[in-house]
């Protein structure tokens, strides 16, 4: 056994299995999904409002004659 190996045997630096906790990551991803969904919903509402204004002829878009 080398000096390097002896220094790690029984120490806190020995390789142990690590259980990873992804719960924070999942919460962050869920929040990002919610933010994206809300943003897309607002874009959809804005598009519908713009189309309704165009149909009424009050929009700033091209007039349909």
pLDDT of 1-41, one tens digit each?
Answer: 555 555 555 556 567 777 778 888 888 999 999 999 999 99
pTM: 0.51
State the Cα–Cα distance between residues 43 and 26, nearest whole angstrom. 26
Task: Choose among 41, 38, 60: nearest CA to 51.
Answer: 60
> In the prediction, which pLDDT does 62 show?
58
């Amino acid at each position: 056994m080398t000096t390097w190996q002896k220094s790690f045997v029984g120490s806190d630096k020995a390789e142990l299995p690590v259980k990873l906790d992804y719960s924070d990551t999942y919460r962050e991803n869920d929040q990002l999904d919610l933010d994206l969904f809300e943003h897309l919903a607002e874009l959809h509402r804005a598009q519908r409002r713009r189309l309704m204004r165009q149909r009424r002829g009050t929009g700033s878009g091209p007039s349909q004659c």
